[in-house]
Structure 1
Amino acid sequence: MTVSRRLARPRDNRWIAGVCSGLARRFGVSPGIMRLIFVISCLLPGPQFIAYLVLWAVLPNE
């Protein structure tokens, strides 16, 4: 099985938009871990939710 290293939103294993799944696939971690990192990061101050929306709009579908 080949692992895609291109940053894109996968059509499978999505929850909302596939951004966390795409990032997880790109960096070689589990999608569940990436989602957990995102949720924990949302508890900290910063533009995490805005970055998620931007990635949703910018990243292409597979």
Structure 2
Amino acid sequence: MVRADTARNHQRIVGVAVAALEEIGPETTLQQIAEQARVSVTTLYRRFGNRDPPPQGHVRGNRA
């Protein structure tokens, strides 16, 4: 079972990343995403590991 705060952080990170990529483009930095999502860059790397895009299900699930 995923902790509630972990699930909220994940959704917030994905939402911010999608919005930033649509607005700014691929030059968006991980630091910008972390700041807008109100998490540390360490949290962002822990959840996603690298700059590769998340699987489409993550993005689609966040836009419903």
Pairwise same-fold verdict (TM > 0.5): no
TM-score (norm 1): 0.29
TM-score (norm 2): 0.28
Report the structure, 1 or 2, having the larger helix content. 2
